[in-house]
Chains A and B, each alone.
Chain A
Amino acid sequence: AQSVAQPEDQVNVAEGNPLTVKCTYSVSGNPYLFWYVQYPNRGLQFLLKYITGDNLVKGSYGFEAEFNKSQTSFHLKKPSALVSDSALYFCAVRDHSNYQLIWGAGTKLIIKP
């Protein structure tokens, strides 16, 4: 069965430090992977996606993600965190059998000044 796991409910990082939000997946076939961010009282915003090609994907707001096929992971990273990065982050993978996105439970990222 297709699934996405975000093993951390919450990640705390000091402003200016690098951040990583973890995501692992299980899917049949080649994975199509996505990261979205949700700010309070707002809908989700697309950050980046991996379909094929370079394992390091660059996205919006200085975020990037590294696709690792052997570890079935797609961790979200940023070299220097900002307080404004505090939000809820969702990883998703596409189920090729029905084209639906399978979503992780979300990770709350808190950046402290």
Chain B
Amino acid sequence: KAGVTQTPRYLIKTRGQQVTLSCSPISGHRSVSWYQQTPGQGLQFLFEYFSETQRNKGNFPGRFSGRQFSNSRSEMNVSTLELGDSALYLCASSLEGLAVDNEQFFGPGTRLTVL
């Protein structure tokens, strides 16, 4: 079974631009969660999507948004990029989501650099 894939792996943008990141979960998994990883803040939860609905949301500004498609693939969008948005963005998929204590499977991440 293929693992979680994320595209692109690396991205360089400038302040004020917007960016879209993509995540394809493991086949059969209905939940996709997004995390931001930075050296200073560690891993922080952005949001979770389950069956095309946002089911859970962390404490990030509205510039961070996402969606999930009928095939469970998910996209995350960040608008009006700031220098502080530079981070590794991780996507994780699971069968039934965070409300159930099932294992999350992480993708390799997208490294976003904002100049």
Contact = CB atoms under 8 A, between A and B. Distances in A.
B56 A43 contact: no
B56 A42 contact: no
Interface string B76-115: 0000000000000010100001110101111111000000
Nearest to B106: A43
A71 interface: no
B101 A43 contact: no
A43 B27 CA distance: 18
B4 interface: yes
B101 A44 contact: no
B64 interface: no
Nearest to A51: B101
Range for the number of chain B residues in contact with chain A: 20 to 34
Contacts of B90: 43-44
Contact of A46 (B4, B44, B104, B107): B104
Contacts of B43: 90, 92, 103, 106
Interface of A: 32, 36, 41-46, 49, 51, 90, 92, 94, 98-101, 103-106
Q: Kindly list the 9 A-B residue pairs having the minimum CB-CB distance in the complex, ordered from nearest.
A: A43-B106, A99-B98, A103-B43, A44-B106, A105-B42, A99-B99, A46-B103, A100-B45, A43-B108
